[in-house]
Amino acid sequence: MDFLRKLLFLPEQASTIAKEIDWLHYSVILITFAGVFLITGVSAVFCILYRSRRPRRPDERRPPGPTPPLWAEIGLIAGLFALFVAWWGVGFWQYVRLTEPPSDTYDVYVSAKQWMWKFAYPSGSHTINTLYVPEQRPVKLLMTSRDVIHSFFVPEFRLKFDVVPGRYHSVWFTATKPGAYKILCAEYCGTDHSRMRGEVVALTASDFDRFLEQDGGGGPGDPESMSANASEPSLSLRGQTAAAKYGCLRCHSVDGSPHIGPTFLGLFNARVPLEHGGEIVADAAYLTESMMDPQLKLHRGYGPVMPSYLGYLQPGEVSALVEMIKSLRHPPASAPLQLPANRTFPIPDAPPLRPNAQESSP
Ligand code: CUA
């Protein structure tokens, strides 16, 4: 099958999903090529066999040719339709798999802007244009954009996903071998779109641990791309700062006690009953959506009082808030959250809300 891959000029397969996606690609290409050759061949044979012969007399009519039975025509059309639907079904199934990560992923927050990629790791370190991931371990990317729509594309992983301002999309992959793989932006996003490139560096487990220990200081790759330093607080700690800055804790408690809004304790990945019926899992996507458009999927039993934070929260702050809520899971995560349980958290008097220029013009 490697022959087919080379024949089609596909890059190497460096993620677990790449093989499956290529299989669909091969079958679509091979079947359509077989169809084209069959039709061309049959047409050529028929052109010779049934070519027009000059009538002997001007009024001579040629006898009508045989017509295929109706069932054959219906069968052919139905067969082609079924084939198309089968391809679509397999493709859709692959898409759903890409967007439904396993539970034990390593999460990285991705924020795109004109014209760079920023990656924030739960440990607090962050890198620009170079994404470090462990090999053989599922990695989930939570992606958003600060300005316009970009598209995160890693050809070797067969991974391409739009990155949209104001929304978080999650997608996951498992890198199968260590190495460096190109990241391209696959959505035209302005002057330097073609230069909005980056690199995924898949490290062995021990190298990745070393990268985290060094907190981004001088891992393999371009040292220019590393901007973290050892004194950087973890993401969930930065989430606490953001929660204080935006007054989140005036309505949301962190100790499980009911307040104006739902408590953050145990909220992450919990099933939330919705005001208009049904329920939803409070994952990163839902939490983010609720910061941007709180009334859209309102938690049952709570009033529609929360304002939208779209245009106020920086993407980095959103991911930090999500990490903070994640750290308040039941039972408490291994690293205890350093939040006072009695809500004596510093609370600002006035809402600090002032739209920042970058965010308000998506
Ligand atoms: Cu970002 Cu194109």
pLDDT (tens digit per residue) in 11-21? 888 898 888 89
* Architecture of the domain made up of 235-360: Orthogonal Bundle (1.10)
Atom of ligand 1 nearest to the CA of 185: 2
Q: Please write the tens of the pLDDT for every residue from 299-339.
A: 888 888 888 887 777 767 888 888 888 888 765 444 444 44
Ligand 1 center–CA 146 separation, angstroms: 12
Given a contact cutoff of 8 angstroms between Cβ atoms, the answer to whether 183 and 198 are in contact is yes
Ligand 1 center–CA 47 separation, angstroms: 50
CATH class of 106-213: mainly beta
Ligand 1 center–CA 177 separation, angstroms: 27
Q: What pLDDT score was predicted for residue 346?
A: 44
Atom of ligand 1 nearest to the CA of 188: 2
Residue 54, pLDDT above cutoff 80: no
Ligand 1 center–CA 186 separation, angstroms: 6
Residue nearest to atom 1 of ligand 1 (CA): 150
0.75 surpassed by pTM: no
Mean pLDDT of 145-150: 88
**Which residue has tokens 């391809």?**
87
Q: What pLDDT score was predicted for residue 185?
A: 93
Beta strands in 167-309 (DSSP E): 169-174, 179-185, 198-203, 271-273, 279-281
Q: Which helix (H) or strand (E) holds 128?
A: strand 126-128
Q: How confident is the model at residue 56 (pLDDT cuts 50, 70, 90)?
A: low
Residues of the chain with pLDDT > 70, as a percent, come to 82
Atom of ligand 1 nearest to the CA of 196: 1
Q: Which helix (H) or strand (E) holds 79?
A: helix 70-99
Q: What pLDDT score was predicted for residue 215?
A: 58
* Residue 8 burial (10 A CB sphere; 0-12, 13-18, 19+): exposed
Q: Are β-strands 179-185 and 169-174 bridged in parallel, bridged antiparallel, or unpaired?
A: unpaired
Mean pLDDT of 171-200: 91
Q: How far apart are CA 24 and CA 84, in angstroms?
A: 12
The structural domains of the chain, with segments of one domain joined by +, span: 2-47+67-99, 106-213, 235-360
